[in-house]
Structure formats: structure tokens, C-alpha cells
Structure 1
Amino acid sequence: MIGGFCDPRFAKVGEAFAANFRERGELGGAVCVYEDGARRVDLWGGWANAGRTRPWREDMIVCMMSVGKGMAALCLWMLVDRGLVDMDAPVARYWPEFAQAGKGAITVRTLVTGKAGLLYADHAPDGAGFDWDVMIRALEVQEPVWEPGTDHGYHSATAGYLLGELVRRVDGRPLDRFLREEVCLPLGADYGYGAAWTDPGRVADIVPNEASHTFVQSRDVTTKLGRAWRMRPQSPDHYNDARMRSGLMPSTNGHGNARGVARIFAALACGGALDGVRLLSAATIDRMREESWFGQCAMTDRVFRYGQGFFLNEANMSPMGSNPGAFGHPGAGGALGFADPENRIAFSYSPALMCEGGGLGDRCAALSAAVYA
């Protein structure tokens, strides 16, 4: 049922992965750990669909949802590292149309840290989420919900578009192409927006959980999450819809597996480079993980510890081991990728079954803790 390998030094991770199936309701998924640039754990197992008719193979990928926002932030930081973007410059320097509706003074840093107040795309039609141009025009005329810089909140639905359009304006390539050409292909990392870049037979299904706060609230337009995600096309099986697997909605439709995401974060855990491929400088990585706020999020009403486009280690909502300096990005349902530069460790978990509650769930938390056991 479980395949792969586990270095004896990380045996607790293997034990936790097995226990997830026995004790915590795991359906199928994968976990991967890098240490000092080497893969120490690479395990997969279970089933790739709710009916338990498709075994989870070694090369399976799955929608890892908001992990994609971390990848969008990484792409933008790569442009910062190259001197092409100034974090303290107005976004409108690179994207002039963004200045509408009182947004002219919003800096790149304010945007990246979730302080811009652009939680919604109210001017986009219902279900327009896969029409990039429509979403960008809607965000250009969107009014902030607070005076930019005075509050903070997870830009759950909009961050992927905002960061992605900034990348496109500066570099010229769409976000999905930039990520593929500058990160995934050079590193050999199995990850990308949508899944059109690979064999459809490799894609595992997401199995929703009615006890997931995100799953429930994002479908109720009377909630803040529901208002934010109103632009998502409605479908009886949204997460496995053909549009999710072919379009570009970078806040939620990044597809990959633990092996691929851990490899990307392994570069960030090792000073910005892995196997001769450099993404960033070590100094830029330290800037990425500077704390910007630690408190109640204006979108979710949960307490988050947030950096510069990434979540920071916090025991309740984003557990990333024992190092407060660890940083990464979770995905709704329990997916996670993180880097721990002090210990040169990278971790990722990619499940099929969404977890309960509003955090990463007990399966991901057990695996993350086991890395440091």
C-alpha cells in the first residue's frame, strides 16, 4: 500500500505516514523530505480517488490548491532578486492601470504582505475565474476594503492574479510559463498551474470534506470567503473539473506532488540553489521570511503568522517543525510545502482527501512534527 523509501534517520516520518492510514483517515497522498539538498524521505500510498479504484502511483500529482500562491510569490521574488522589481515602489510603476480606485500609492511590499485590502474582485462576473483578462480588469478597478497598509488579511482568491500580473508586466511571460521555465523545468520539479502539462492519467482526484471550513465557507456567498471565491466557476465536482486541470487560477489550481514541491523548497532551504540551479540569493530568502504580521486575519478571522508572500511557522495554523524561521505555503485541505534554512530541511505533503477544520489537519501536522522527532 505504501511505496518509496525513508532514510532510517527519518523513520518517524514513515511511521507517521503509515499511522495516517490506520488512525487518521488518510485516503491517498505523498510526503517528501529533503535535508541538506538530498532527498531523505519519498513515500506515497493509498488511493487516488474516492471510489478506491485507482492506486496512488509513484508519479501521481494532485491539486495542492493555495500552495500555488507561494509559487507565485517565489516568481515575484526572483524578479526582485534580479533587480527588476523594487519592493518599495508603487505597483503602478510596473502596472499603470492598477492605480485606479485609490490604489496608486500601494507598494509591491504592501501587496505581497497582504496589506493592500484587495480581498475581492467584486467587478468580475460570477464564474469568471479562468478568464485572466477579465479578472485583471476587475482588480484594476477594485476598491480596497481598508486603507492600504492599515490592516492585514490573507488574499485567498486574489493573490495569485495580483502577483501573477505583476510578474507578467515585468517579465513579459504569463505566470504559468515563468514558473515552468524558470523554476520547475530547471529543477526537474513535478509542479505547475493546471495539469495540461502532463498525462491526465497521473492526476489524482481531490476528495472534498464537508467538515473543511474553507470548503464550506467558500461556497456560501454570505461569508467573506464566499464573496472572494464567487468568481470560481460552479461545478458539482469543482476541484476535479476540466477547467481546474487546464486553466490558470494561480490562487488555487497548482498541481504537483510532495516530491516536486519539496524539491523547490529544498533550493530555498539551501541558500537559494540546488544541484547547480540557483533561484535566489540567500539574502533575498531572508527578506522573504521577514514577519509582516502575526494576528487575526481580516479574511478568515483565524490567527496567522505571515511573512512576505509566505506563511511563517506557527503551531496552530501552519505547523512547520521546530524552527520559527521556517516558511512556506499551505493549501486548503492540508497540502503544504516549507523550507527551514537553518536546518537545511524542506518538506511537502500532497493529499487527496481534504482535512477537517480550518488548518492543515492532523495528518499534515503529524508528518511535519515527525521530521523533527
Structure 2
Amino acid sequence: MTVDIAGTVEPGYERVADAFERAFDGRPTMGAGLTIRVGGRRVVHLWGGLADERSRSPWQEETASVVFSCTKGLMSILVARLVQDGLLDYEAPVARYWPEFAAAGKGDVTVAQLLSHRAGLSALREPLTIDQLVDWDHATSLLAAEEPLWQPGTGYAYHAVTHGWLAGELVRRTTGRSAGQYFAALAGDHTSGAWIGLPDAAASRVAHLQASDSQVEAGEELGEAPSPWTALAMTLGGALPAQLVTPDGGFNDPRIRAAEIPGAGGIATADALSAIWSATVTETDGRTLLDDATLDAALIPMSEGEPVFPSPAPWPRWARGFQLDSEARRYLGDASFGHDGAGGQVAFADRDAKAGFAFVTNWMEAGDDRATRIVDAFRASL
């Protein structure tokens, strides 16, 4: 299949461009963007395919897409910056900043445990409607009052959506700003193509999401998981479809895109994501977001191995909110940290390479290796 690819590639990174082009094979309605920075400088900046298969409109340089759980990585950057600025302490109880959170035996849960999926709040016992999903106060009040699903700190389970509300309420309590507002203030010019809570003025820039057969099948298999909490973590009892998108629903719904849902609802261009991650490890466009001491503390491994609710291996690894290199998600190596997202999104930084990487796509697949092959090509190019 021939797909129109545009952009720039520095000499030495041609194999990355080849891997990006191969990602479109057999996917005639896919669109995607890829940007890689090394030492703060773009070395790969590519885009191609379709932003909307219904109108056949092409993916442009400024096209953004929902990045799903890559948003958790952005929230982890925000929390790390608050730690760096002395407003949060990873070892402190969450209740120091959010007193209501101490309810139902959660008074000793630390910020580090909360970020690393160890707080016992991976799902809500009360099913949510879409109206409740987009109501920040409703969701965070439920989480503050909820009894943990397991003893906090004794194990982990992926907080697929609730993670964003938990981290975001810490941001709100310590800064007086919502997660989206603080993100915009911290990331500065980088957020010209990245949002937590999409403004109306940017709505036309966002790609239409498509669920492939494998994405639909993965959603169907959620109902067959050994624990019902696994499906509830993803769907919140009906607020979201199991495959996360339908032609007009889920994360294609304008109400959901406009809301601040920082566990899964961030929207960004590959270029903006790459710049933000690059700025965590090296000066990028005149700014550096995190220092080495903060990264040392933020990247202490916290959760790995088999989770509380059984799921098939391989399993991911997490530090304090950041996803680490593992068999389940390969980055460049041990110096990498970031977060992937449903359907194939990947964004990360690497401390050794001083790199920021972002691949975003509107063609959602479960278990695909598009980004992995691009990362492999990037590793081989360094």
C-alpha cells in the first residue's frame, strides 16, 4: 500500500522513517504522527495517512489525537514537578493534601502508592453515566469515600481511568488549578498542540478514532476476565464502551474530549508530546521541566509482576506514575520512562539518549507492534 508521508528526517534516522511507513501496511484508513527529539532537537518529524476516514481528510502536521493512557505519563510529570517545587512529597500520605481521602481506611496511602497503582482504587463500585464521567467533583468524591478493593500497598492493579482523577486531585489541592490548567501553565508553548480537556477552538484539529477488529475483540474479552474489576476499571460500569471508541461515542464523543479525564483523555500532536518528554531530560525550546534529583526519586520502581486481579503476562512495570521499560512495553532501555496508551500510542523520554519520543495514531489496535518496531529502529539508529 502506498501512503502519503510528509515531514523531515535527519541523516542517520532513515530506518526510523522506514518503520513508520511500514506501520501503515494493511491499514488503509490509518493516520499517524511521529516525532523524536535528541538533545532537544527534532531528528524525526513525520505524519501521514488519514485524519478522518469518513471524509478522507489527510493527517496534517498539526493533527492531534486522543493519546489515552499516555496522559498518565503527563500527569506523572506534573506531580514530579510539584515534588521538585516542594509542594508534594512522594512519601507523604495523600490525606495530608486531600483530607477527605482518608475515609474508609485510606489514611496511610502515600502519594507514591497512589501513583503506582497500589491504592486499591482501580475501579469504582458505583457505575458511572457519561454525565458523571465528565463531572470532576462527582468522580473524585466517590474515590475519596470508597473503600479500597484490596489492602493498599500490598499489591497493584492498573488504575485505567481512576489514576487520572487521583493524581489530578492532588494537583488541584496543591496548586488551586485543575489538571488541565496546571498542565498548560507548566508545559507552556508545548501545549499549543496538547491538552487535558480539549478547548472548542481546537476541536477541528483532532483525528477521528477507529477501533480495529483486534480492539473490538479485546473489549469483548474484558467481560471474560477472571475478575469483574478488570472490566469495571476500563468501562466504569457503562460510561465508556469496552473498546473505548465507537463511531460517535466513547473518546469520539465531544463531551468526553472536552472534559478533563487525565487517566485517559489527553489529546496531543506527536510533536507536542515529544517536546514535553524531551524537556524532562534536556533543555528543549528553552526550558527543562525536571531535574536529575527529581527524576531519581520519581523513577524508583514500585509495581511489577503479577497484579492483584489476574491478567496474562507479560506485565508492565511502573515507578511513581511513570511506566518503565519491560517485556510488555519496550522503550530504549533502563534509562527510559514514559507511558503508552490504548490502541498503539507511545510517548517516553530517555535520560541517556536525552531523547523525547512520541507516536500517536487514530487506528486503534490491541497488542500491535507498530510503535515497538519504530522504537527498535530508533534504538538501532543511536
Give the TM-score of the pair, scaled to structure 1.
Answer: 0.92
- Alignment of 1:366 with 2:373, yes or no, is yes
Displacement over 6 Å in runs of 4+: 219-222
> 2:306 — aligned with what?
296
- Return the alpha-carbon distance in structure 2 between the equivalents of residues 369 and 52 of structure 1: 33
Indicate conservation of the 8 Å contact 1:214/1:332, yes or no. no
- Alignment of 1:255 with 2:262, yes or no, is no
- Return the alpha-carbon distance in structure 2 between the equivalents of residues 268 and 155 of structure 1: 24
| 2:96 counterpart (63, 85, 93) | 93
CA separation of 1:66 and 1:209: change in aligned 2, threshold 3 A? same
- Alignment of 1:320 with 2:331, yes or no, is yes
SS in 2 for 1:182: helix
Pairs within 5 Å for 1:204-243: 204-212=207-215, 215-217=219-221, 223-228=228-233, 229-230=235-236, 233-234=239-240, 236=246, 237-243=249-255
> 1:109 — aligned with what?
112
Pairs within 5 Å for 1:1-373: 1-22=4-25, 27-51=30-54, 53-123=56-126, 125-127=128-130, 128-183=132-187, 185-187=188-190, 190-196=193-199, 198-212=201-215, 215-217=219-221, 223-228=228-233, 229-230=235-236, 233-234=239-240, 236=246, 237-270=249-282, 273-299=283-309, 301=311, 302=313, 303-315=315-327, 317-321=328-332, 323-357=333-367, 361-373=368-380
CA separation of 1:299 and 1:186: change in aligned 2, threshold 3 A? farther
Q: Give the C-alpha shift of residue 30 in structure 1.
A: 0.6
- Return the alpha-carbon distance in structure 1 between the equivalents of residues 149 and 136 of structure 2: 22
Q: Give the C-alpha shift of residue 102 in structure 1.
A: 0.5
- Return the alpha-carbon distance in structure 2 between the equivalents of residues 296 and 26 of structure 1: 36
- 273-282 or 256-265, larger mean C-alpha shift: 273-282
- Return the alpha-carbon distance in structure 2 between the equivalents of residues 149 and 226 of structure 1: 22
Q: Give the C-alpha shift of residue 338 in structure 1.
A: 0.5
- 72-81 or 225-234, larger mean C-alpha shift: 225-234
AA at the equivalent of 2:152: P
CA separation of 1:52 and 1:22: change in aligned 2, threshold 3 A? farther
AA at the equivalent of 1:243: R
CA separation of 1:17 and 1:177: change in aligned 2, threshold 3 A? same
AA at the equivalent of 1:67: C
- Return the alpha-carbon distance in structure 2 between the equivalents of residues 147 and 21 of structure 1: 44
- Return the alpha-carbon distance in structure 2 between the equivalents of residues 8 and 94 of structure 1: 49
After superposition, what is the alpha-carbon deviation per residue over 1:177-218, rounded to whole angstroms, capped at 9, x for unaligned? Answer: 0001111x2445521113226432211011112312654456
AA at the equivalent of 1:230: L
AA at the equivalent of 1:318: R
CA separation of 1:214 and 1:264: change in aligned 2, threshold 3 A? farther
Q: Give the C-alpha shift of residue 223 in structure 1.
A: 3.5
AA at the equivalent of 1:157: V
- Return the alpha-carbon distance in structure 2 between the equivalents of residues 64 and 299 of structure 1: 25
CA separation of 1:165 and 1:188: change in aligned 2, threshold 3 A? closer
SS in 2 for 1:276: coil
AA at the equivalent of 2:377: A
Q: Give the C-alpha shift of residue 173 in structure 1.
A: 0.4
Q: Give the C-alpha shift of residue 37 in structure 1.
A: 0.8
AA at the equivalent of 1:363: R
Q: Give the C-alpha shift of residue 53 in structure 1.
A: 1.0
SS in 2 for 1:249: coil
- Return the alpha-carbon distance in structure 2 between the equivalents of residues 257 and 188 of structure 1: 9
After superposition, what is the alpha-carbon deviation per residue over 1:251-303, rounded to whole angstroms, capped at 9, x for unaligned? Answer: 11100021111111101232xx4233232212111222221132123357241
- 337-346 or 122-131, larger mean C-alpha shift: 122-131
Unaligned runs of 5+ in 1: none
- Return the alpha-carbon distance in structure 1 between the equivalents of residues 114 and 21 of structure 2: 40
SS in 1 for 2:45: strand
After superposition, what is the alpha-carbon deviation per residue over 1:73-96, rounded to whole angstroms, capped at 9, x for unaligned? Answer: 111111100011111111111100
Indicate conservation of the 8 Å contact 1:152/1:298, yes or no. yes
Q: Give the C-alpha shift of residue 151 in structure 1.
A: 0.5
Q: Give the C-alpha shift of residue 51 in structure 1.
A: 3.3
Indicate conservation of the 8 Å contact 1:335/1:351, yes or no. yes
What is the aligned-residue identity percentage?
Answer: 32
Q: Give the C-alpha shift of residue 353 in structure 1.
A: 0.4
- Return the alpha-carbon distance in structure 1 between the equivalents of residues 375 and 266 of structure 2: 21
Indicate conservation of the 8 Å contact 2:194/2:269, yes or no. yes
Indicate conservation of the 8 Å contact 1:123/1:139, yes or no. no
SS in 2 for 1:298: coil
